[in-house]
Amino acid sequence: FCVCVFVVSRSYADFTPQATFDIKKCEVHRLEEGPAGKAELTREQGLQYYRTMQTIRRMELRADQLYKQKIIRGFCHLYDGQEACAVGIESAINPSDHLITAYRSHGYTYTRGVSVKEILAELTGRKGGVAKGKGGSMHMYAPHFYGGNGIVGAQIPLGAGIALACQYQGNNQVCVTLYGDGAANQGQLFESFNMAALWKLPCIFICENNRYGMGTSVERASASTDYYMRGDFIPGIRVDGMDVLCVREATKFAADHCRAGKGPIVMELQTYRYHGHSMSDPGVSYRTREEIQEVRSKSDPISLLKERMLSSNMASAEEFKVIDVEIRKEVEEAAQFATSDPEPPLEELCNHIFYNEAPIEVRGTNPWSKLKSVS
């Protein structure tokens, strides 16, 4: 006798194409009302957000391994845990809008359109890196993405300047200016707030509050930890930064506020980083392993989205597994490239000092070392 086995795969028609979810209400400052307490999500959007967040997570974990193997050297600040911030923001603005951040920048480099391959190759200092191997972890750029900035808080006035350019050109674009809770007490932040408010600049100031500035908890660093209210005369919203839908809705609200000519707005994203401040910080001397584990188990941004979609019949567990396998493959191939691509040659050391200029001679470390810079 014969046994016939039928493999039944669920067709796309079986899945819910769209659902509405309740999201955490934002706390507001100087606003009559904030973003809505509900968010719509299509199946396609959900799968896309999942793929992007999971890619950032895998990329950062691979960077961790490469660092421990001493293939990546120097500064390296990882973004795992905070993925909902980058993905939520990016899904609410246009590619032609502008974004500038601090040195925990790998996630934003990816969401602004740079491949995993170019990011990992930049981390390993290779020719195929996004900044030709000469920028490293903190200095990656893309169209409408102004880095990666190594000096704490230095990107904030630059972001206000980009917003001034948007206003001057009248192009209806906004600038998303990100900083951490560790930069939130800097003088240059308040100077930028003042000018942005005076000139009604289309600037969304976003504080990614991951609860620790290096090894110092927010309570030990700030007399007021209500970062969304610290703009004083600028409206503010406090957002659940572990929920990609919360971040998306709040960013849409903030972008609409700016585009309507109402001036700047401050957003505080309450988030968490799983790694230490940088790779030289084990991250457990000022917080407990149990604290990290609790956030992972209760508030992980990727798990939260996945569970929402599964419970609403928007996708199957098998689909997520397939996506995970594809991402692992992509990240592994990128890591192979990042370890085999050649380092840039010495004669390229001084190139690109100026944009679109005739070649110039550059003074080396001694009078007889002749270096050249080509645009």
Tens-digit pLDDT profile for residues 291-333: 999 999 999 999 999 999 999 999 999 999 999 999 999 999 9
| pLDDT for residue 215 | 96
Intervals of the chain under pLDDT 70: 1-12
pLDDT tens across 9-33, in order? 566 679 999 999 999 999 999 999 9
DSSP-derived pairing of the beta strands 18-22 and 38-42: antiparallel
Separation of alpha carbons 226 and 204, rounded Å: 17
Confidence at residue 369, expressed as pLDDT on a 0 to 100 scale: 83
3-state secondary structure of 257: helix
Phi/psi of residue 224, nearest 5 degrees? -125, 125
Please give the pLDDT value at position 7: 43
Residue pLDDT, tens place only, 231-244? 999 999 999 999 99
The sheet with strand 175-180 has its strands ordered as 27-29, 236-240, 265-270, 203-209, 175-180, 98-100
For residue 277 the two structure tokens come to 């401040």
CB 130 within 8 A of CB 114: yes
The pLDDT, as a whole number, for residue 6 is 44
Q: Under CATH, which architecture does the 18-344 domain have?
A: 3-Layer(aba) Sandwich (3.40)
Domain boundaries, the chain: 18-344, 346-374
Type of residue at 193: F
Q: Is 260 helix (H, G, I), strand (E, B) or coil?
A: coil
At 32 the pLDDT is: 97
Q: CA-CA distance, 103 to 22, in Å (whole number)?
A: 33
Q: Over the stretch 72-86, which tens digit does the pLDDT of each residue have? A: 999 999 999 999 999
- End-to-end alpha carbon distance in the chain: 76
The number of angstroms, rounded, from the C-alpha of 372 to the middle of its chain's C-alpha atoms is: 35
Q: What pLDDT does 5 receive?
A: 45
